[in-house]
Amino acid sequence: MKALRALIIFVGLVVVWQTIVILTEVPFYILPGPWLVVKALIARSDVLFDHSWVTLSEIILGLLLGTVLGSLSALTLGYFRPARLWLMPILVVSQAIPVFALAPILVLWLGYGMVSKVAMATLIIYFPVTAAFFDGLRRTEPGHLDLAHSMNASRWTTLRYIRIPAALPSFASGLRVATAVAPIGAIVGEWVGSSEGLGFLMLHANGRMQIDVMFAALFILAVMAVTLYYAVDAGLKRLLFWSPESQSIET
Amino acid sequence: MTSIEKHPFSISLRADRLAFGDTLLFEHIEFELSAGKWTCLLGPSGVGKTTLLRLMADLVPDVENVSIKCSDQLPLSGRASYMAQQDLLMPWLSVLENVLLGSTLRKEVQRTERAHELLDLVGLLSSADDLPAKLSGGMRQRAALARTLMEDRPVVLMDEPFSALDAITRVRLQNMASELLQDRTVLLVTHDPLEALRLGDRIHVLSGRPVTLNAPLTPSGSAPRDLHDPEVLKGQADLLEQLAAADQMEVA
């Protein structure tokens, strides 16, 4: 049923798209029709595949690094009080800098290759994960902590067996947001300076009026982002089998 | 039934002065939990019953002027288990894992067999692998009772553990707890005079600000007392009167 609904929505959007193209008689170099994009997808599949692979790797590496670093930060903040007092303000202030503005600097420091894009994606993912997980760690049910105290639990085992599991639903919401924004980091990084990846390909095609290729790249990016989101969502649901909050938006 | 403390000890609490903000809660109060007996604290809500229990359970941070002494001169810490109004089961752990929580938190050997025995005792053996969410309120509180028994401590501190249950389930659980915790030193905080009379060996009514404790009521016979017992019924009327008076003081 869910798959059917998704299919109907997809077909509906394509129909709307085609209708707009026919009705407005917009030239193909402004808005190519779906059929032209499909042709570009097939004709340029080798190029598209190579660049997609680069972007996907950047996103996944960024997601992994951002999640690991974000979780470690949240745990540090949650476990050590001094860390909370000193690092929390820095963390909050750091968010006042738009990450996009850092992209040129990252490219300057880390080069044109994948590293600067992974760094960009990592930065974008880091904050939502840290903030959400830390928030979850702070909000442990006080009764559960009382119980742990009465059972002579150490601070560490309380964290390990009670606070972390209890914070996982919050962590999951952070990770869902992070997964949704991760592609932005990679693409912006590629726009600022790169020689490969879908962002690069889009700029490159744009410069040569290959708007159909641009749209093909955009289509792949969308499919990639949606697939990644649902994969992460499914993984999180499995991890949080016990939580009523683990129901995600579409259910 | 369960391994019982060889040398039961009594516990005395003395609070010279305890204030939260501008509110002076306790001043020069003393009370005692007799060894192997159930002591009940009754009183209007907000009077400080739970605070007294939490002091005993070492759950009030940064207190001064309060001393807790055990008759065997050993500290109480680590010898009391805690049961709250909420079952406090971890929703991500199965019932069995919840019963074993204490040993997990202390990194001790998991005595799964013993946990199974206790689950059997409270009638939850067939739910051992279920998540708490699948259980009814009464079953959840029984699981909490099994977890308390698993800790096997001589002192049990209970903060209105049955108050969220429906009447029938409550009576059943009272009987079960009374039987299973028979020889332990128990502190039961409750707002239900009938519960105190059915289960308690000594019943204190708390009232006023700062709090005063009345002389304990000591119902005869052994718990759990019968609901038809005339003494229980008369006691209930008396206690209700005292509670109403205490409530009046609160308002004044």
Q: Which residue of A157, A242, A244 is in closest CB contact with B105?
A: A157
Q: Is the pLDDT of residue B67 over 80?
A: yes
How would residue A246 be classed by pLDDT, with cut points 50, 70 and 90? low
Q: Which residue of B57, B82, B105 is in closest CB contact with A158?
A: B105
Spell out the residues 6+ positions from residue A40 whose beta carbon is closer than 8 angstroms to its own.
Answer: A32, A210, A212, A213, A215, A216
Residues of B in contact with A154 (CB under 8 A): 105
Q: Which residue of A148, A150, A165 is in closest CB contact with B92?
A: A165
Q: What proportion of chain A, given as a percentage, has pLDDT over 70?
A: 97
Spell out the residues 6+ positions from residue B247 whose beta carbon is closer than 8 angstroms to its own.
Answer: B44
B217 backbone dihedrals φ, ψ, rounded to 5°: -90, 135
Q: What's the average model confidence in pLDDT over B65-73?
A: 86
Task: Report which secondary-structure segment, H or E, holds B102.
Answer: helix B101-105
**By a Cβ cutoff of 8 Å, what residues of chain B touch chain A?**
54, 57-59, 77-78, 80-82, 84, 86, 88, 90-92, 101-102, 104-107, 131, 133, 151, 157
Structure tokens at B77: 């810490």
CB contact under 8 A, B106 and A153: yes
CB contact under 8 A, B105 and A151: yes
Q: How many DSSP H helices and E strands does chain A contain? A: 11, 0
Quote the pLDDT of residue B72: 87
Q: Which residue of A151, A154, A244 is in closest CB contact with B101?
A: A151
Quote the pLDDT of residue B7: 67
Spell out the residues 6+ positions from residue A128 whose beta carbon is closer than 8 angstroms to its own.
Answer: A70, A174, A175, A177, A178, A181
Residues of A in contact with B81 (CB under 8 A): 150-151
Q: Is the pLDDT of residue A249 over 60?
A: no
Residues of A in contact with B104 (CB under 8 A): 157, 161
Please indicate whether residue B63 or residue A174 has the higher confidence score (pLDDT).
A174
At residue B133's C-alpha, the angle toward residues B117 and A174, to 5°, is: 125
Q: Which residue of A has its CA nearest to B134?
A: A242
How would residue B252 be classed by pLDDT, with cut points 50, 70 and 90? low
Write the single-letter amino acid at B114. Answer: R
Q: Which residue of B91, B92, B151 is in closest CB contact with A151?
A: B151
Average the pLDDT over each of A158-167, A191-200, B57-66 and give the range with the smallest value.
Answer: B57-66
pLDDT tens digit sequence for B82-110: 999 899 999 999 999 999 999 999 999 99
Residues B37, A106: Cα–Cα separation, whole Å: 70
Q: Is the pLDDT of residue A134 over 90?
A: yes
Q: Between helices A164-192 and A198-207, what is the axis angle to 10°?
A: 30
Quote the pLDDT of residue B238: 85
Q: Which of B41, B45, B53 is nearest to B247 (CA)?
A: B45
Q: What's the average model confidence in pLDDT over B155-168?
A: 89
For an interface test with A, which of B85, B92, B134 has the most A Cβ atoms less than 10 Å from its Cβ? B92
Mean pLDDT of the residues in chain B: 86
Q: Which residue of B77, B90, B105 is in closest CB contact with A153?
A: B105
Quote the pLDDT of residue B103: 93
CB contact under 8 A, A151 and B91: no
Q: Say how many CB pairs under 8 Å bridge A and B.
A: 63
Quote the pLDDT of residue B251: 56
Q: How far is B88 from chain A (nearest CA, A)?
A: 6
Residues B196, B162: Cα–Cα separation, whole Å: 11
Write down all domains in chain B, each with its CATH number in brackets.
Answer: 11-79+153-251 (3.40.50.300)
Q: Is the pLDDT of residue A102 over 50?
A: yes
Quote the pLDDT of residue B83: 92
Quote the pLDDT of residue A247: 52
Quote the pLDDT of residue B250: 60
Q: How far is A239 from chain B (nearest CA, A)?
A: 10
Q: Is the pLDDT of residue B3 over 60?
A: no
Sheet order of strands, B66-70 included: B23-33, B11-20, B66-70
B27 backbone dihedrals φ, ψ, rounded to 5°: -140, 125
Most confident of A20-29, A63-72, B2-11, B183-192: A63-72
How would residue B1 be classed by pLDDT, with cut points 50, 70 and 90? very low
Q: Which residue of B59, B105, B133 is in closest CB contact with A146?
A: B59
Please indicate whether residue A63 or residue B214 has the higher confidence score (pLDDT).
A63
Q: Is the pLDDT of residue B22 over 90?
A: no
For an interface test with B, which of A149, A150, A242, A243 has the most B Cβ atoms less than 10 Å from its Cβ? A150
Q: Is the pLDDT of residue A136 over 60?
A: yes
Q: Which residue of B has its CA nearest to A142?
A: B88
DSSP assignment of A113-179 equals SHHHHHHHHHHHHHHHHHHHHHHHHHT--HHHHHHHHHTT--HHHHIIIIIHHHHHHHHHHHHHHHH
Average the pLDDT over each of A44-58, B10-24, B180-194 and give the range with the smallest value.
Answer: B10-24
Quote the pLDDT of residue A125: 92
CB contact under 8 A, A147 and B80: no
Tell me how crowded residue B172 is: count the other CB atoms within 10 A of its CB: 15
Q: What's the average model confidence in pLDDT over A114-130?
A: 91
| CA B70 from centre of chain | 18
Please indicate whether residue A231 or residue A96 has the higher confidence score (pLDDT).
A231
CB contact under 8 A, B151 and A149: no
Q: What is each CA distance from A82 to A78, A79, A87, A94, in whole angstroms?
A: 10, 9, 8, 18
CB contact under 8 A, B57 and A150: yes
Please indicate whether residue A61 or residue B169 has the higher confidence score (pLDDT).
A61
Q: What proportion of chain B, given as a percentage, has pLDDT over 90?
A: 33
Is the separation of the CB atoms in A118 and A108 below 8 Å?
no
Percent helix, strand, coil in chain A (nearest 5)? Answer: 85, 0, 15
Q: ipTM for the complex?
A: 0.89
Q: What's the average model confidence in pLDDT over A171-182?
A: 92
Write down all domains in chain A, each with its CATH number in brackets.
Answer: 33-246 (1.10.3720.10)
Quote the pLDDT of residue B2: 45
Q: Is the pLDDT of residue A116 over 50?
A: yes
For an interface test with A, which of B51, B90, B131 has the most A Cβ atoms less than 10 Å from its Cβ? B90
